[in-house]
């Protein structure tokens, strides 16, 4: 791979540009974002104006305002964008994609209107695409700030073709980052999406100051719901075992670390005000994927007639104004 395109210069897109650029100084690496202030600042200083402000990108990173300049002739297109934007971006870049391109998704969410996982969204947009392409997903316990600090981290790359997953893994991983590979792209994407929903519930317990024991109990029970839903959607059981970085590693990171979904839940636990928590995150230019995913997970479970009491509770807090005190009461009642 000689040219890499990164679409999205947010916290994680910038972090991925950092580790890929540092490893591959001889490659063309472009990063694009619709936020012009991000691109201008990166182009001028090689630093981000909002996230990881002390981190500097390597000199071979090109910050571009042009989607065509970024994507054309790219061997791999890394989609570092919120799940809500994936369909539109794929539609826009479709004419620019080359034969054999790898589309690497790092969004951890589900599409709200269609209830599809991200790889299925991409496939649906490329339904009549004439050239060969490969879809991969990267997921695991990787908080963006810890990626830029080059902390020792682990995650997984999933692709229906294991050789492509290995190719992506070998290209990205470094001495501080280990990437396992799997063909279970459905399981990896659902693991990344559903753990965000659980993290919101975990954050509510933090906001209510019930302590780690109460939060851990909730995570344990809510994990059953997530697994039941994932298996009903075609995920492999191995992906949801304790040794899985896409599931267990990411679940622990998101529920106990400084993650945006847990922080969002904590705000709700403290104030009981979902709207205020959403507005606070928007002011900080932070996307909370678990908010949308909770509704999608609830709708899928309802359609499949699955009893998922703990995911249902989170959905009701977020969309039906369930008081956080009742959330805790119902949790105990469903244990």
Residues with a catalytic annotation lie at 195
Residue 6's alpha-carbon distances to 66, 75, 78, 292, 295, in angstroms, are 12, 11, 5, 24, 29
DSSP string, 196-216: HHHHHHHHHHHHTT--HHHHH
Structure tokens at 247: 């599931």
Q: Which residues 6+ apart lie within 8 Å of 281 measured at CB?
A: 260, 264, 287, 288
Asked whether the beta carbons of 297 and 197 are under 8 A apart, the reply is yes
Whole-angstrom Cα distance, residue 318 to residue 142?
25
Q: Which residues 6+ apart lie within 8 Å of 185 measured at CB?
A: 119, 135, 136, 137, 158, 159, 160
Residue positions counted in the chain: 335
Place of tokens 């571009």: 64
Structure tokens at 59: 């000199």
Chain centroid to Cα 129, Å, comes to: 26
Percent of the chain as helix, strand, coil, to the nearest 5: 55, 15, 30
């Amino acid at each position: 791979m000689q040219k890499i395109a990164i679409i999205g210069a947010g916290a994680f897109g910038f972090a991925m540009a950092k580790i890929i650029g540092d490893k591959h100084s001889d490659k063309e690496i472009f990063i694009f974002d619709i936020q012009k202030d991000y691109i201008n600042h990166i182009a001028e200083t090689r630093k981000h104006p909002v996230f990881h402000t002390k981190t500097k990108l390597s000199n071979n990173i090109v910050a571009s305002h042009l989607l065509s300049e970024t994507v054309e002739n790219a061997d791999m297109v890394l989609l570092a964008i919120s799940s809500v934007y994936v369909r539109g971006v794929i539609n826009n870049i479709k004419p620019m994609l080359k034969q054999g391109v790898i589309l690497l998704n790092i969004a951890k969410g589900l599409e709200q209107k269609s209830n599809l996982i991200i790889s299925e969204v991409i496939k649906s947009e490329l339904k009549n695409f004439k050239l060969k392409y490969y879809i991969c997903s990267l997921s695991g316990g990787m908080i963006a700030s810890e990626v830029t600090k080059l902390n020792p981290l682990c995650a997984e790359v999933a692709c229906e073709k294991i050789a492509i997953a290995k190719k992506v893994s070998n290209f990205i991983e470094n001495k501080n980052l280990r990437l396992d590979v799997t063909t279970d792209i459905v399981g990896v994407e659902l693991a990344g999406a559903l753990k965000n929903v659980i993290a919101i519930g975990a954050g509510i317990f933090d906001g209510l100051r019930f302590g780690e024991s109460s939060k851990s109990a909730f995570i344990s029970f809510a994990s059953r719901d997530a697994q039941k839903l994932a298996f009903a959607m075609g995920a492999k059981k191995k992906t949801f075992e304790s040794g899985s970085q896409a599931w267990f590693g990411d679940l622990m990171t998101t529920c106990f670390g400084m993650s945006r979904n847990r922080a969002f839940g904590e705000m709700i636990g403290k104030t009981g005000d979902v709207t205020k928590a959403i507005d606070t995150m928007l002011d900080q230019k932070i996307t909370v994927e678990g908010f949308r995913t909770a509704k999608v997970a609830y709708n899928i479970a309802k359609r499949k007639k699955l009893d998922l009491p703990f995911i249902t509770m989170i959905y009701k807090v977020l969309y039906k104004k369930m008081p956080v005190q009742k959330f805790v009461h119902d949790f105990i009642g469903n244990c």
